[in-house]
């Protein structure tokens, strides 16, 4: 898994991130979602290296073997703004002031926040299977609540989800070595069996209902937009179209340059359709970045 990549931990100021990186060329950071670790990218990352990129795959703060800062009442240590700062500091320490960012699931929110908060750093933004948190919550209806009920369950404080999840993490999260790859699956299982990681992942969702939505709403009110090219990728066997219809139109409300691609996959596109995803990302990353 990740042959030729370096595996290390990098101090980014507030936390230490576990990170794998390899290759040479224009840098791109791949940001995983819940409840995965960076290992979810193990089939995609080598293909991007082969296409001429330096590829960086971190565990987000709170996830996998990255640092897990103490919880605060406002959940700000697990807000996407904090995770975006981590990415900028990580890439700076690896020698990259400007870079592309690709995010899936919860990682899409981190990627979006990085592009909004640090427009001078991000050359390209790819978001996979997600719309901005503020938009998702504003559009929440019975279909969303039925499909994505875990957002609200994981976000509870009075009856914390951690007690339920930690009783049987394998039953709760699922996954299999056949679909994920044996090494990636074992890495993921180590993470979900760590109560500190489970708590941190719940904090991610609590931040989503609080500071993350507030940040999105403030940006919309202020008219802030994403200035780099954006690729919105959606899995045809997931529920983006059912929930939002033309979900790319939502991203066009946030950015001037939005491209769209349908991926023949279920939700975990990096594991289920790595070749198609790598091809689409390679083509997109060749697009002229913001500022030339």
CATH number at residue 272: 3.40.50.1820
| Predicted pLDDT of residue 156 | 87
Residue 175 counted as domain residue = yes
Strands 6-11 and 16-22: antiparallel
| Predicted pLDDT of residue 225 | 97
Residue 88 counted as domain residue = yes
| Predicted pLDDT of residue 290 | 55
Domain extent, residue 197, equals 6-285
Could you tell me the mean pLDDT of each successive run of 10 residues in the chain, 292 residues long?
97 97 98 98 98 98 98 97 98 98 98 98 97 93 89 88 95 95 97 98 97 96 96 95 93 96 96 98 86 48
Residue 291 counted as domain residue = no
| Predicted pLDDT of residue 36 | 97
| Predicted pLDDT of residue 287 | 81
| Predicted pLDDT of residue 157 | 83
Residue 290 counted as domain residue = no
Residue 179 counted as domain residue = yes
How deeply is 203 buried, as exposed, middle or buried, from its count of CB atoms within 10 A (0-12, 13-18, 19+)? buried
Instruction: Enumerate the active-site residues.
Output: 105, 267
Strands 122-128 and 99-104: parallel
Residue 1 counted as domain residue = no
Residue 146 counted as domain residue = yes
Count structural domains, the chain.
1
């Amino acid at each position: 898994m990740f042959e030729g990549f370096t595996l290390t931990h990098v101090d980014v100021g507030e936390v230490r991130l576990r990170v794998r990186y390899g290759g040479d060329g224009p840098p791109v950071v791949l940001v995983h979602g819940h409840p995965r670790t960076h290992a979810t990218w193990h089939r995609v990352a080598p293909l991007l290296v082969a296409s001429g990129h330096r590829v960086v795959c971190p565990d987000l703060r709170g996830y996998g073997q990255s640092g897990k800062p103490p919880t605060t009442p406002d959940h700000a240590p697990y807000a996407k703004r904090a995770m975006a700062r981590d990415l900028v500091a990580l890439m700076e320490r690896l020698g990259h002031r400007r870079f592309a960012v690709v995010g899936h699931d919860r990682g899409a929110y981190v990627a979006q926040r990085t592009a909004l908060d640090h427009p001078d750093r991000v050359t390209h933004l790819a978001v996979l299977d997600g719309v901005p948190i503020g938009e998702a919550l504003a559009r929440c209806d019975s279909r969303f609540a039925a499909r994505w009920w875990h957002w609200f369950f994981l976000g509870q404080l009075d009856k914390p989800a951690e007690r339920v999840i930690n009783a049987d993490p394998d039953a709760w999260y699922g996954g299999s070595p056949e679909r994920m790859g044996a090494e990636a699956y074992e890495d993921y299982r180590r993470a979900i069996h760590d109560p500190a990681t489970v708590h941190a992942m719940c904090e991610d969702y609590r931040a989503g209902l609080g500071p993350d939505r507030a940040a999105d709403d403030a940006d919309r009110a202020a008219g802030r937009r994403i200035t780099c090219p954006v690729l919105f990728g959606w899995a045809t066997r997931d529920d983006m179209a059912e929930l939002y219809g033309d979900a790319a139109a939502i991203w066009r409300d946030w950015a001037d340059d939005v491209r769209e691609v349908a991926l023949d996959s279920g939700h975990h596109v990096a594991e289920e359709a790595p070749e198609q995803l790598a091809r689409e990302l390679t083509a997109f990353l060749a697009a002229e970045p913001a500022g030339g």
